[in-house]
A and B are shown apart, each in its own frame.
Chain A
Amino acid sequence: MGRVLITGGAGYFGSILCDLALARGDDVRVLDLNPTGRADVEDIVADVRDADAVRKACAGVDVVLNNVAQVPLAKDRDLFWSVNVAGTANVLVAARDAGVGKVVHTSSSAIFGIPERNPVDESTPPRPLEAYGRAKTEAESLCREAAAGGLDVSIVRPRTILGHGRLGIMAVLFELVEAGAPVFVMGSGDNRYQLVHAEDLADAVLRAGDRPGAGTYNIGATDFGTMRETLTALCEHAGTGSRVVSVPVAPARLGMKALSTIGLAPFAPYHWLLYSESLWFDTAKARTELGWAPTRSNAQMVIESYDWFLSHRDEVHGGSHHTSPVKLGVMNVLKRVGGR
């Protein structure tokens, strides 16, 4: 228990992290562009690129959990860099100068691009393929430089985050399933694609925050299968008649890229490069050093997330890229054409 600053605490993952931190009795302050609106949290509404605001937010804090990120759905490269890199540096400098005891930085599996071999562990070198991955890699370098300078900084790298309330790109999938339309996988769909439940990730972040000494941890579900298996489990659960259909990788990439370029569908290079590839983490280090263990499988996460979508679809508008459903544009057309 202690005074905790959660940056990005009003976003999708940040708010789940808030829940867990509050539940264990932490005193929580949130820095975010949007207020959390919660009575039990001290809101600082500010941009992480505002160094003075970040400095004020770090004053008197024991632990900083840094979750601000400009996610792949925002396609502006300069924005990626300034939020993910300069923003992270702001947090690290402010934490150092305020004498913060521990910083946990939430990174991304995007730093690994398409790995040469799986599983990926903490000794695998980064190999980012697109702007988001490159910015997150640079942010990790800053964390290591801060750690070398004496600040206690740990890094947590999640696989694709899922859980109740997570929409963003998933809204595309859920809309199709709900309509009974075919669900497309790129290629055979036999790529092993690991997810992580937001609560399992939040647990890992809090455990990393409690453990003194810099460390890096790769975090993902233990029970996961291929992209096709995960989506098949969802289709079976939904019972809408949706089934999983393969489309060849090259035309699919081209199509996603084209739709995105003309602004009709919500895809970024991150999606068309990585969704058809295998990437899974060996999470042994997190288990051993943090005593962490995931509680949900890929299939459980997708189903839980889909059910949440069904019961909340009329309420979700506004908010961050990860909680608001993306503009579906041409996907609606696709749904009708491919559907019943």
Chain B
Amino acid sequence: MTDLAPSDTVVVTGAAGWLGQNLVRALGDRGRVRCLVASRDEVSPLELVSPSVEVVVGDVRDPATADRLLDGIGGDATVFHAAAIIHPARKVRDLFDVNVGGTQLVLDRARRAGVRRFVHVSSNSPFGANPTPVDRFDERSPYNPYMAYGRSKVEAEGIVRRSHERGDVSAVIVRPPWFYGPFQPERQSQWFRAVRTARFPVVGDGSQRRSMVYAGNLVHGLLRAEVAAAAPGRAWWIADPEPYELREILETVRAALSAEGLEVSGSLRSVPRLVGVVAEKVDGLLQSRGLYQQAVHVLGELKDTIACDVTAAQRELGYAPATTLLDGMRASIRWGLERGMQF
């Protein structure tokens, strides 16, 4: 089996999102890039990327929108399904409507269009936390979803996998962990500020490990998933080569901020692991009532090791992440500073 050539026609959902903006810019040389965005104001900024970009405005939950998105898309096409909600505005219901319902719709229209490959962007959340700090998630790890977001992404993976197994569409699942890079939303500025001023806590002793993935590395992984012969029917962890200790991540971000000329103050301080445990309980309680608080959710996740093994992707997809944590963080910070963001 040999790798495919990149599709001349690609479809991208979530194209105006954090990942989508990075992905569309890597697809500028394709003949046709059909993008789904939620708002009319996102159309022309995306068209500016390349003359081959065509934009469909609509909600991924809307069948008529899905029809238009795949209308006239031939069998050579690849669909990158990146539309999802990670932090719902208030209620967790949206997670299921968008992450599960949206996936079902786009997958169905992709099948009808007979597309060549469907690349589904999943998450680490279907797997919860690693049982020990040295454990790594791989393709054989069992589902153990973390909260409502994790459950929605488990369901979405299931739909994609079954569709592939039925022979409906050749599908690939890509699982990125903690994601960072240019085109970051405003919440990332708050995070950079909190790390810069040492207000972002190290939960526990900071030796818990986290896998992270730079936008450019993830886009490279998605492009390998599009063409690699080994990709279909499987799920791939795509992350920076090795997980980092939480403390190391925060120190590297502080070094990156400093290298970009920003003043770094204070020194990292720890809060007892118990704080994270309590936050997790509160988050669970809120979510069981359909409510969502981002700060509580993030704090609850910080106490654990969430790390994955990318060797399968390296060996079989030809995944070769080129950007280091320091360089990736510096690029993200520069991108924000050029746009007047305050870190």
Contacts and interface: CB of A to CB of B under 8 A. Distances in A.
Interface of A: 49, 51, 81-82, 85-86, 89-90, 92-93, 96-97, 111, 113, 125-128, 133-134, 137-138, 141-142, 145-146, 149
B266 interface: no
The interface residues of chain B, by DSSP majority, are classed as helix
B47 A89 contact: yes
Contacts of A111: 340
B50 A51 contact: no
Contacts of A127: 340, 342
Given A85-B41, A86-B41, A93 B47 contact: yes
8 contacts: A86-B44, A86-B45, A89-B47, A89-B48, A93-B44, A93-B48, A97-B51, A145-B49
Contacts of A149: 48-50
A142 B41 contact: no
A149 B47 CA distance: 11
Given A89-B44, A142-B45, 20 more contacts: A51-B44, A81-B41, A82-B40, A82-B41, A86-B40, A86-B41, A86-B42, A89-B45, A92-B44, A93-B44, A125-B340, A126-B338, A126-B340, A127-B342, A128-B340, A133-B340, A141-B338, A141-B339, A145-B49, A149-B50
A142 B48 contact: yes
A-B residue pairs, 6 tightest by C-beta: A89-B44, A126-B340, A137-B340, A86-B41, A89-B45, A90-B44
Interface of B: 40-45, 47-51, 337-340, 342
A85 B45 CA distance: 8
Nearest to A144: B338
Nearest to A54: B44
A199 B40 CA distance: 35
B340 A145 contact: no
B35 to A, nearest CB: 13
Contact of A146 (B48, B337, B340): B48
Contacts of B51: 96-97
Contacts of B48: 89, 92-93, 96, 142, 145-146, 149
A37 to B, nearest CB: 29
A125 B45 contact: no
A138 B339 contact: yes
A86 B339 contact: no
Contacts of B43: 51, 86, 89
